[in-house]
Amino acid sequence: MATIGPKAYIHLDRCISNLENIQKKVGGCALLCVVKANAYGHGSIAIAKSISDHENVHFAVFSIGEAVELREANIENDIIVFSRIQSDYIDVAYKNNIILNLSSLDDIQNIKSYILKTGRCPRYHIKFETGMTRLGVDIKDANLLYEKITKELTIHPEGIYTHFATADEGDLSYAKKQLSKFKDVVDLADNYKIKYKYVHCSNSGAILNLEEAYFNMIRVGMLLYGALPSDEVQNDINIKPVMSFCGSIVNLRRVAKGTPVSYGSVYTTSKDTNIGVVQTGFADGFPRPWYDKGYVHYLGNEYKIAGRVCMDQLMVDFGETIPEIGDEVLFFGKNNSGNISVETISNNINSTPYVLLTAIGGRTKYIYLDD
């Protein structure tokens, strides 16, 4: 029996196409493909496997657990963990060939203690804080950090990086200030003869907005999944949405004009109409605020969401259309029913594609396609 309920169709061929078109844009740069948070809601293992054989592909996650999951799925590419180093998982990282994120002077001591205890040194990149005010070694401590590395650690970093706060905005002045600071600490590393391989600071916004920040590695997240990081970037890469998020129609009711629908009765039918119940709610990742202006696609047409989205279900005003029970409506993405971008929804509800895509889950069934 066909599954009734929310489905996320993941078009792996589109992901591969997006990757290849991004590679054309950035030339010979290595691609650090960000698959944290279940690959932004797309399924980290399936996404990683689909692109792992491409040249110069590396992976990034946030937690050590996410990295180990990829290793257990036989993903052999380099994997970097973005979270703070914790002493109790350095050994896990070493044994699984996972790259750590040195983002504090304190991390030097954790790594040094591990070396003294085991005689082994884990792989790591250095992250500098240049203006995000999040993780990263303060640039004022760069001299001290490099001195400690040259004197106390047996292995130099494989990479040096930072993170932009505003590279996806129209005004790039702040991002360029960050870039200038970052270039200074990279130059300083050269003065200390730090032997690194990769330098990276470009995220999806900078890939589109700030080509001078490419260096020899770029980090690609949202673009890989076929969405733009904001509406202020100028996109010149052919990307396609990787996810089509859909739900099943499970009930249809003919109601009279003036019938209230859903919680709060905020929606009232303007005429006699067909109200369909779709088995998907905000617990499955459907963006609840979208009900006010929102619509779904069914067989090439748009139909308004009728009333507030419930935890498990939502209602749709189909007018005179009589859909088949079990048919699917499209919430966002692109398929035979239509095309609605996740950016359109996020812009209308004052959110971002990041929030909407990573919210998908719960009871959602994932279906991976290669067509």
Active site residues: 36, 263
CA–CA separation, 366 and 371 (whole Å): 15
CA–CA separation, 345 and 205 (whole Å): 19
Tokens 């949405």, residue located: 241
State the CB neighbour count (10 A cutoff) for residue 253: 12
Distance of CA 240 to the CA centre of its chain: 15
CA–CA separation, 82 and 230 (whole Å): 22
Q: In this structure, which amino acid lies at residue 190?
A: D
Q: Quick one: which H or E segment has residue 114?
A: helix 105-118
Backbone dihedral angles phi then psi of residue 151, each to the nearest 5 degrees = -100, -30
Among positive and negative, which fits the CA dihedral 330, 333, 339, 345? positive
79-81 vs 57-61, strand pairing mode = parallel
Q: DSSP letters of 200-245?
A: E---HHHHHH-GGG-TTEEEESGGGGT--S-TTS---S-----EEE
Tokens 């979270």, residue located: 83
Measured at the alpha carbon of residue 228, what is the angle toward residues 20 and 225, in degrees to the nearest 5?
Answer: 50
